[in-house]
Structure 1
Amino acid sequence: MYIGECIRSALSQDYANLEIIVVDDGSTDGSWQKIQEFGDQIIAVRMENQGQLKALFAGLSLAQGDYIYFLDADDVLAEDALAQIAPCLQPDVSKIQFMLLPIDKDGNAIGNAFPTLRPSDDSTALIRSIRTRGYYNTPPTSGNIYRRDVYEGLGDMSYEMGIDGVPYLLAPFVGRVVSIDRTLGKYRIHDSNQSSFSVVTSTRMKRYVDCFMGRLHHLAELVQARCATTEKFEVRNDYAYVMELDAMSRVADGKQPGIRQTWAHIAAVAREHTGRKRLGLCLFAVALFVLPNSMARQLTAIRVNPSRSGHFRSRLKQAFSV
């Protein structure tokens, strides 16, 4: 249970105009008791378990600020984060994003800060990436601060798994997105959340496709409604990410991706990416096609959960040893 550390990291911020709202989504592990220990330092709300999405929107409905930050209960905000972010809170800024340091259950660093961000205060490159790939490089929820209106009038999000799926895509179209190349928070990886990345099934891969495409169709509607001077956003069916998920879905079902499917996958990667990333993703597509299913499944598991790479390297060594 990490909720206490999470709340303390928010309370420690050197930022005067701060409103902290904690929503307990029907927890049964003692979290509510821990939350109540902070008294009137926070606004605490307890609701019946309805899922993360509804809990976060419940918190949003209570917020009064012009900017909204969703901090996951497992994660931690760096002590001086808001002081560094404050100068970026300008009326024309729709989103601020920053890097997160991955930590284990005990708070020890277990890798490099991610994602790699370049300092920027312009949305042009991000919009271009969305139109080309269907996404742009962004941190998980705890690495983003949004201008409140980005979350207003979103409409139906029943297809969604997270709170900021379509808002992160919408933000570049309605304002400037500021990228900060500094680590201002910690992202915790532990048994409970890591296990969700451990099972590879075709159902899961198809769920990702549905969510990805749902966001883009939703984005197209929002851009048309909110951005009269912006070129219409067109949704395609041949994004490399979708093709990769389709290929992994076949592998999860014990099948081999077809030659036409693999070639279309490689063509999409070549269209959307450059340099080492293009090479790596093309090799991944080829590997899913040529490897035995058992090894292709291991490779798919690594793609979904990179922490499994050590086990797969051992399998490869055994398979190709003389």
Structure 2
Amino acid sequence: MQNRTTISVIITNYNYERYIGSAIDSVIAQTRPADEIIVIDDGSTDRSRERIEAYGDKVRAIFQPNQGIKVISNTGYRISSGSVVLYLDADDRLYPTALELVEQAYRPGVAKVQYDLDVVDEFGNPAGRRFCNFSTHMNEESTARSFARTATYVWPVTSGNAYAREFLSRVMPLTPPESHDGVLNTIAPLYGRVVTIAEPLGQYRIHSRNISRSSEDGRRANIPHFARRISIRKQEFDILRQHAAALGTKLPDDDFLDNELVFTNYRLMARKLSDEHDDDAKRSLGDLWATAVSCILRDPITFRARMKHLIWISSLALAPRQFARQMISFRFNRTHARAGHQPSTQIASPNP
């Protein structure tokens, strides 16, 4: 008889008193209850502790001095017991059937189950898009083929992944260059199958304190520091190479960043902003554009998304430098610009 799947949800929090209750409520409301809900507060100085303690024994609360996301992610794994582990950022939330659908998709041999997330603004207003906006044609086989050919595949942020303990037990604890999701998602196909659910099972909240929107000193950046983001991704790929070598798995000889749409975008935007990393400045603008187009045509995304990406990348390549800066600023701040100042009392529908 197959052992019963157990699910641990680990909610990581630091000074998110505004959102933490919504995240916990979304896990408590699951049609398939979590076997354990662990909330780790990393030394918050706001009223987070009060919010968390109000849930009593509905959650396992851990309060620790501030040590950073790398430490609390390792702590969460160490004290959890589920055969499937979800990390939920305290500013995100799950839809009611998320755990039920994850359990249905999971089986032995799967390293992780991933799923789409609806993007919302700081007030919970829908932004009208998804992360990653998976194509319905994306499946285990196409993901495995993509990884074998390019050493990468399309994957979501932290809250869009459910990891098998069988996988985590072979690689944890980690000391990633920034956060665990980048490394875990990068190396997961080395350790098992990746199952994709091409529908949103939760919400990813865009606001001024997202890690990807912060500068090295923690301040909000209207435009990401592309050279820094590229450097972090290169370090994650170095870790991938180390794991592949240890497992005896051969990887392609390519520049792996050239196979990721996000980073072909970043490289092109960095060129327009004169914010390039290492040897990228030696490449021609035409080469950067052509590489991005190749990713757009190859990635398992919807036709509508493909056309939007093609229009964006071509417009950016042709734009004068100052206009390109304005385009980039708008792209990374459009959710905030649409948010206004009135909080919404509605949560985005899982089927927009």
What's the TM-score bracket when you normalise by the shorter of the two chains? 0.7 to 0.9
Moved over 6 A (4+): none
Q: Aligned-pair distance for 1:106?
A: 3.3
SS in 2 for 1:70: strand
Query: Is 2:240 the counterpart of 1:219?
Result: yes
Q: Aligned-pair distance for 1:183?
A: 2.1
Structure 1: runs of 5 or more not aligned: 311-322
Q: Say which one has the larger Rg.
A: 1
TM-score of the superposition, structure 2-length normalised?
0.74
Q: Which of 288, 298, 301 matches 2:326?
A: 298
Question: How do 1:298-317 residues align onto structure 2 when only pairs under 5 Å count?
Answer: 298-307=326-335
Structure 2: runs of 5 or more not aligned: 1-17, 215-219, 298-305, 339-352
Residue of structure 1 equivalent to 2:223:
200
Give the RMSD, CA atoms, in angstroms: 3.2
Structure 1 residues 282 and 42: alpha-carbon distance in aligned structure 2, compared to 1, 3 A threshold:
closer
In structure 1, distance between residues paired with 2:135 and 2:265: 26
Query: Is 2:236 the counterpart of 1:236?
Result: no
In structure 2, distance between residues paired with 1:69 and 1:209: 26
In structure 2, distance between residues paired with 1:118 and 1:146: 21
Contact 1:198-1:305 within 8 A present in 2 as well: no
Structure 1 residues 259 and 221: alpha-carbon distance in aligned structure 2, compared to 1, 3 A threshold:
closer
In structure 1, distance between residues paired with 2:83 and 2:58: 20
Structure 1 residues 128 and 272: alpha-carbon distance in aligned structure 2, compared to 1, 3 A threshold:
farther
Structure 1 residues 192 and 240: alpha-carbon distance in aligned structure 2, compared to 1, 3 A threshold:
same
In structure 2, distance between residues paired with 1:218 and 1:264: 27
Residue of structure 1 equivalent to 2:310:
279
Q: What amino acid sits opposite 1:200 in the alignment?
A: I
Contact 2:116-2:199 within 8 A present in 1 as well: yes
In structure 2, distance between residues paired with 1:120 and 1:90: 20
Contact 1:21-1:59 within 8 A present in 2 as well: yes
Structure 1 residues 107 and 152: alpha-carbon distance in aligned structure 2, compared to 1, 3 A threshold:
same
Q: Which of 264, 279, 301 matches 2:287?
A: 264
Question: How do 1:150-165 residues align onto structure 2 when only pairs under 5 Å count?
Answer: 150-154=167-171, 160-165=177-182
CA deviations over 1:78-104 (Å, ceiling 9, x no partner): 112212221222111111111212223
Residue of structure 2 equivalent to 1:91:
108
Q: Aligned-pair distance for 1:128?
A: 4.0
Q: Aligned-pair distance for 1:35?
A: 0.9
Q: What amino acid sits opposite 1:263 in the alignment?
A: G
SS in 2 for 1:113: strand
Question: How do 1:116-135 residues align onto structure 2 when only pairs under 5 Å count?
Answer: 116-119=133-136, 122-130=139-147, 135=152
In structure 1, distance between residues paired with 2:86 and 2:181: 10
Q: What amino acid sits opposite 1:6 in the alignment?
A: A
TM-score of the superposition, structure 1-length normalised?
0.80
Contact 2:113-2:163 within 8 A present in 1 as well: yes
Contact 1:301-1:308 within 8 A present in 2 as well: no
Q: Aligned-pair distance for 1:135?
A: 3.7
Question: How do 1:10-159 residues align onto structure 2 when only pairs under 5 Å count?
Answer: 10-15=27-32, 18-119=35-136, 122-130=139-147, 135-154=152-171
Contact 2:28-2:34 within 8 A present in 1 as well: no
SS in 2 for 1:286: helix
How many residue pairs are counted as aligned between the two chains?
302
Q: Aligned-pair distance for 1:259?
A: 9.5
Structure 1 residues 14 and 308: alpha-carbon distance in aligned structure 2, compared to 1, 3 A threshold:
closer
SS in 1 for 2:40: strand
Q: Aligned-pair distance for 1:31?
A: 0.3
Question: How do 1:157-176 residues align onto structure 2 when only pairs under 5 Å count?
Answer: 160-176=177-193
Contact 1:118-1:180 within 8 A present in 2 as well: no
SS in 2 for 1:21: strand
In structure 1, distance between residues paired with 2:144 and 2:176: 22
In structure 2, distance between residues paired with 1:302 and 1:156: 38
Structure 1 residues 63 and 48: alpha-carbon distance in aligned structure 2, compared to 1, 3 A threshold:
same
SS in 2 for 1:44: strand
In structure 2, distance between residues paired with 1:237 and 1:116: 22
Contact 1:92-1:175 within 8 A present in 2 as well: yes
Contact 2:237-2:256 within 8 A present in 1 as well: no
